[in-house]
Amino acid sequence: MTNVIPFVARACPHPRAAPLGVDDPIVTARTTASVVADLVRLVAEIKELGGRGLPLPYEAREIERTVQTLLDAISAIEHATEVLTQGGERALF
């Protein structure tokens, strides 16, 4: 089973108007910074969860699988952060 969601590019002759504030670079930068901060906080929470899961009384294989899944989630969040920050560049605002 996979949890990958395919995105399909669609040609749209009448694109929808951008949501209010999206054209404003300051609003965009602040919103991006807020989302990135939430993602960084989420990574810290996932790391803490992984540490709490290690001593649980389950089979070592299941614990290893669980921790690996959490590490994969961290990798995905780190990738999303890089995309939002355009490769880790710091946005000035």
For 13-33, the DSSP string reads SSPPPPPTTTT-HHHHHHHHH
Residue 75 inside a domain? The answer is yes
Tokens of 60: 């070592």
Boundaries of domain holding 60? 25-84
Specify burial of residue 2 (Cβ count, 10 A radius: 0-12, 13-18, 19+): exposed
Task: Tell me, yes or no, whether 62 lies in a domain.
Answer: yes
Note the pTM of the prediction, 2 decimals: 0.67
* Number of domain units in the chain: 1
Q: With respect to residue 18, please indicate whether it lies within any of the assigned structural domains.
A: no
Tell me, yes or no, whether 44 lies in a domain: yes
Task: Render pLDDT for 2-60 as a digit per residue (tens, 0 to 9).
Answer: 565 565 555 555 455 555 556 788 888 899 899 999 999 999 999 999 999 999 999 99
Residue 19 falls inside a structural domain = no
Q: From CA 28, how far away is CA 42, in angstroms rounded?
A: 21
Give the torsion through C-alpha atoms of 86, 88, 92, 93, to 10 deg: 70
CA distances from 39 to 8, 78, 89 (A): 25, 8, 16
10 is a domain residue: no
The amino acid at 72: D
